[in-house]
Amino acid sequence: MPDEKDRDYDKTSELQSKSADDDDNSIDEGDDEHSGHDHHHSAQGANPARRQMKVWIAIGVGVVIAVLLVMKGGTGSQSNGPPLAAVGSTVTGDLTLVNADRNELDCMAANGLKDYQCGFIDEKQARQLQENNKLRPYMTVDRQLYLIPGLFLEPSIAQRYNSEPANKPRGELKRFTAKCTIKVVGELAGVKLRWAPDGAWEPAKKFSVATVSGCKIEG
């Protein structure tokens, strides 16, 4: 039978063992808490970096789209129209006209193409030209624009012009189509257009210079 001293020794050993176990549990809990704390900070540090990356990707995509739009808008020499026709080519085109176009449409350019020139050198200087050498802008129904000299001197167009009173307001004039053989004789750069005597000049661009023949009136 154990004496009292042996029983005291067993109790002391049991208490020491329990205390050691408690200390080990406290260390494990502290390590878990510290690990969780570090993971939380790591996640917080990653989120701003991820957001910043997304922002840069969005900016990059926006820049690419903007460049593509600019390139697409700047490929032609005519706004909202097809590319220039090849010099020397001959096509059949439907020119859309009203009688007022004979005197109201104008172009401005410092240079000309052979004897063909615009009616204005600049905004303050007009040229004195024969009608058969004076370039004016005319457009086809499919929005191809040509600088054409003396268009209203073409016999069928002149006849159509004389069928309406000369002083008739533009808003009362009937629009008609002239189906013509159009020959592209060259190109002229730095040309500004004006669509009415009191209208603003458009920005300078390059346009095809063409002559016409064999016109037939429709409408």
Beta bridge partners of 207: 188
Cα 215-217-219 angle, rounded to 5 deg: 160
Tokens 């802008």 — which residue?
Answer: 137
Report the distance separating Cα 99 and Cα 175, nearest Å: 8
| pLDDT of 7 | 47
Residues of the chain with pLDDT under 50: 1-13, 15-21, 24-30, 32-37, 39-43, 67-80
For 91-137, write each residue's pLDDT tens digit. Answer: 999 999 999 999 999 999 999 999 999 999 999 899 999 999 999 99
Q: Confirm if 190 and 180 have CB atoms less than 8 A apart.
A: no
Query: What H or E segment, with its residue span, contains residue 179?
Result: strand 176-194
Per-domain residue ranges for the chain?
1-75, 90-218
Report the distance separating Cα 207 and Cα 6, nearest Å: 117
| pLDDT of 83 | 87
Report the distance separating Cα 156 and Cα 210, nearest Å: 18
SS3 assignment for 82-94: CCCCCCCCEEEEE
| pLDDT of 100 | 96
- Say which DSSP state 108 is in: E
Dump strand ranges (E) for 22-131: 90-97, 106-108, 117-118
| pLDDT of 186 | 97
| pLDDT of 81 | 55
Q: Which residues contact 90 (CB under 8 A, 6 or more apart)?
A: 181, 182, 183, 184
* Backbone dihedral angles phi then psi of residue 78, each to the nearest 5 degrees: -120, 135
| pLDDT of 46 | 54
| pLDDT of 71 | 42
| pLDDT of 139 | 97
Q: Which of 83, 126, 70, 80 is nearest to 103 (CA)?
A: 126
Report the distance separating Cα 61 and Cα 146, nearest Å: 38
